[in-house]
Amino acid sequence: MMLSHRVGRACHVLVLVLCLSAAEDFDWSANNHDSFYYGTFPNGFSWGAGSSAYQTEGAWDKDGKGLSIWDVFTHKKGKTFLNDTGDSSCEGYYKFKDDISLIKEMNLNHYRFSISWPRIMPTGIRSDHVNEKGVKYYSALIDELLEHNITPIVTLYHWDLPQVLQEKYGGWQNISMINYFNDFANLCFERYGDRVKYWITFNNPWSVAVEGYETGEHAPGLKLRGTGAYRAAHHIIKAHAKVWHTYDTQWRNKQRGMVGISLSGDWGEPVDITNQKDIEAAERYVQFYLGWFATPIFHGDYPQVMKDFIGKKSAQQGLGTSRLPTFSSQEKSYIKGTSDFLGVGHFTTRYITQKNYPFNRGSTYFSDRDVAELVDPRWPDPGSEWLYSVPWGFRRLLNFIKTQYGNPMIFITENGVSEKMMCTELCDDWRIQYYKGYINEMLKAIRDGVNVKGYTAWSLLDKFEWDEGYSERFGLYYVDFRSKNKPRYPKASVQFYKRIIKSNGFPNQREVENWKTKATETCSTSNQLLAAEEQRNTAANILRLIHDPLTSHMEMVTEVVVPTVCTLCILISAVFLMFLLRKRN
């Protein structure tokens, strides 16, 4: 769970009066939060769902795969909820054909997945070894998608760095990652680029940097406060740019694809829109989040506000230089313009106000920003602690991207909501509500002129949710993790999403209201199926418990008692024989 979200949650809760208005064009000062817009998406808009390798594949040590930092991290005690691991997860490695049928069933246009670097390069280093079995797996997955007319959108790095690179070099703290990552990307272009036309270099580098190297909540679990995240981000941005240039110079002519990055960003809304300090704090929040990566990629350098704040705080600490690394002028022009499209992952919003952090308490990424996060207690909060449903924040973020970065082509790479583990509820009306609201705000953003070309629901399946293990379920499909075969069951949101796709939007009120009723009608049958399956599982588990002492008893009899008795018998007979022979003599 993101620390910033924890901080936000812990902060005093804010009650704000929300009023209604129905503005046609986007207006930053308008409070048009609750209106619903009936209409459809542009022709050719692409609908999809997503997953990532470590979260779904399982098969962590199969067919020559090397270790990733997540394999090692989750095998240490106390790192994840209930010490859950992704060792088998959804068994997606073995069930990809079944999963593609589910995708087909929903009539999706694209599927977003990621390639596990150590599955195809076990040490992360191309010259060491390329694992052809791993290469084949993704090739088969891509072929199967294309055969069903589903466009693959492929992420190269969804957090599973090869462990060897972490151990040998310190992972993203080390500049050498840039070349290793470029070699890996190059191999992917070489082997799959004839069929894959949408590449995402990094997924959510904010999390990699902050949670991997600053708070240590994610693999590799380092707590290099105030420096680790900035350093990791610096190398990631350069690695992204290098891979884009590699594609541009070596592959683009032949393969005619696109390379982008997927950035995540919460929206930050000023607590008081008439207060200049709040307005600046909210802007800072977004710049330290999405802007940290987007500004170098679109404009060549870090946001001015990051340079100012981190520079000022470093000076207060008595440091000679800023903790935020700098780009040389050649690097700036090399990095600028290296995204053919922008991937956006968005889940939630915060209210933001100014808060001064005294520098003597130690410097961190969080204290560098000088902001406090607040939430409205009326915002729905069905699953993950940090995830409040605030659809209007989505439209605002998209408009921010449009104005800040010159209206780039956007693919929504992640958007969705979770539920808690104990909630085996397939009639997920809160998820329907979430998707309905967020997709509608995206439609409004398109009407505002934002260039959104596709939407990816997050996620296709319930899966391993990083440090939260299996306790948070984001899937459109429910996965029964307790069953060996990991069966999938559709939640009601599958039906709802299907209808949005079929109509390419929200045609009219009567129809849309009908969808929700229809979607929740069918789910009760699936709910019964799942309940029956769960009962069977519980019974099987009880039997196993009863059966287990019996089995081990039997094993002891065959493996210890029988051989011992036999040996004793042989010994006794030998002694007896000797005794008889002696007596006869």
Chain residues that interact with ligand NOJ, rule: CB under 6 A: 52, 55, 203-204, 264, 345, 414, 465, 474
Strand 452-457 and strand 46-50: the pairing is parallel
Pick the closer one to ligand NOJ by CB: 266 or 283: 266
Set 283, 414, 441, 465: catalytic member: 414
Pick the closer one to ligand NOJ by CB: 55 or 338: 55
Q: Which helix (H) or strand (E) holds 488?
A: strand 488-490
User: Are 88 and 463 in contact, with CB atoms under 8 Å apart?
Assistant: no
Q: Is 269 a catalytic residue?
A: no
Pick the closer one to ligand NOJ by CB: 144 or 217: 217
Give the three-class secondary structure for 190: helix
Q: How far is the CB of 377 from ligand NOJ (least distance, A)?
A: 22
Give the three-class secondary structure for 158: coil
Neighbouring C-alpha atoms within 13 Å toward the C-beta of 219: 27
Pick the closer one to ligand NOJ by CB: 171 or 265: 265
Q: How far is the CB of 561 from ligand NOJ (least distance, A)?
A: 52
Could you give the CA distance from residue 432 to residue 450 in angstroms, rounded to a whole number? 24
Structure tokens at 352: 């933001």
Pick the closer one to ligand NOJ by CB: 160 or 278: 160
Neighbouring C-alpha atoms within 13 Å toward the C-beta of 313: 24
Could you give the CA distance from residue 541 to residue 312 in angstroms, rounded to a whole number? 60
Q: Which residues of 533-559 are buried (b: 16+ CB within 10 A; e: fewer)?
A: eeeeeeeeeeeeeeeeeeeeeeeeeee
Sign of the C-alpha dihedral computed for residues 90, 96, 100 and 101 taken in this order = negative
Q: Which residue is nearest to ligand NOJ (CB)?
A: 204
Kindly report whether the peptide bond that precedes residue 329 is cis, defined as omega within 30 degrees of 0. Answer: no
Q: What angle do CA 83, 64, 213 make, to 5 degrees?
A: 45
Pick the closer one to ligand NOJ by CB: 474 or 515: 474
Q: How far is the CB of 68 from ligand NOJ (least distance, A)?
A: 14
Q: Which amino acid is at 319?
A: L
Pick the closer one to ligand NOJ by CB: 103 or 310: 103
User: Are 413 and 456 in contact, with CB atoms under 8 Å apart?
Assistant: yes
Q: How far is the CB of 260 from ligand NOJ (least distance, A)?
A: 15
Q: How far is the CB of 425 from ligand NOJ (least distance, A)?
A: 19
Q: How far is the CB of 110 from ligand NOJ (least distance, A)?
A: 17
User: Are 289 and 367 in contact, with CB atoms under 8 Å apart?
Assistant: no
Pick the closer one to ligand NOJ by CB: 204 or 389: 204
Question: How far is C-alpha 231 from the geometric centre of its chain's CA atoms?
Answer: 22
Could you give the CA distance from residue 180 to residue 567 in angstroms, rounded to a whole number? 61
Q: How far is the CB of 209 from ligand NOJ (least distance, A)?
A: 13
Q: Which amino acid is at 567?
A: T
> What is the four-CA torsion angle of 91, 92, 95, 101, rounded to 10 degrees?
140
Could you give the CA distance from residue 108 to residue 248 in angstroms, rounded to a whole number? 29
Q: How far is the CB of 233 from ligand NOJ (least distance, A)?
A: 16
Q: Which residues are catalytic?
A: 414
